[in-house]
Amino acid sequence: MTDDEAFRVFVAARTHALSRTAYLLTGDHHLAEDLLQSAFLQAARHWERIEGHPEAYVRRILYTQNISWWRRKKYAELSLGEHDVPAAAGDPDLRLTLEDALGRLTARQRTVLVLRYFEDLTEAQTATELGIGLGTVKSMTRQALGRLRTLAPELAELIGVTP
């Protein structure tokens, strides 16, 4: 299999899963698309130098690029609206409240929460992925959960006590 074919197979197989992560990181379908597209482009650019599975490489770009984009303020424009995908089973009100509250966290807080509670990484793994200290991950997780609790008290049942 050529590099070109391997890349296409990888993109076809992992786009759906990576789309979920990109959406949770950005909270916006269009930004998620830009973020994932940019990560795939970087993967294509450095394909022969990627050690191990390319998904880990792409995921790391998603995490760090998301924070970097917000810092550099490339997105001064507001999203035009929610994308129109069907809602999954569950409590839609709670989910919308959670999405709204997540959108009001800082990019770093949101990224840490996604890594810890969606990607199921340990604190140490999260610290490694983001290139920050273990203590920073702990304090940021605590701050993010606290802020969620402040922003949306109805999420208390979801969030529980601060770890």
- Establish if 72 lies at the interface with other proteins (CB under 8 A): yes
Q: Minimum CB separation from other proteins for residue 23, in Å?
A: 4
- Establish if 120 lies at the interface with other proteins (CB under 8 A): yes
- Establish if 93 lies at the interface with other proteins (CB under 8 A): no
Return the amino acid letter for 6. A
Q: Which distant-in-sequence residues (6+ apart) come within 8 Å of 75 by Cβ?
A: 31, 69
Spatial separation of the C-alpha atoms in residues 163 and 152, rounded to whole Å: 18
- Establish if 1 lies at the interface with other proteins (CB under 8 A): no
Our CB check for other proteins shows the closer of 41 and 134 to be 41
Give the three-state DSSP class for 31: helix
Q: Minimum CB separation from other proteins for residue 49, in Å?
A: 10
Spatial separation of the C-alpha atoms in residues 145 and 162, rounded to whole Å: 7
- Establish if 100 lies at the interface with other proteins (CB under 8 A): no
- Helices H / strands E in the chain, number of each: 8, 0
Window of 44-52, 54-62, 129-137 that interacts with other proteins by CB under 8 A: 44-52
What's the sign of the alpha-carbon dihedral 95, 100, 103, 108? Answer: negative
Among 52, 78, 81, 131, binds other proteins (CB under 8 A): 78
Alpha-carbon dihedral 38, 40, 44, 50, rounded to 10 degrees: 110
Give the three-state DSSP class for 117: helix
Tell me which residues touch other proteins (CB under 8 A): 4, 7-8, 11, 15-16, 19-24, 29, 32-33, 36-37, 40-47, 67, 70-73, 75-79, 83, 85-90, 94-95, 98-99, 103-104, 106-108, 113-114, 117-118, 120, 145, 147, 157-161, 163
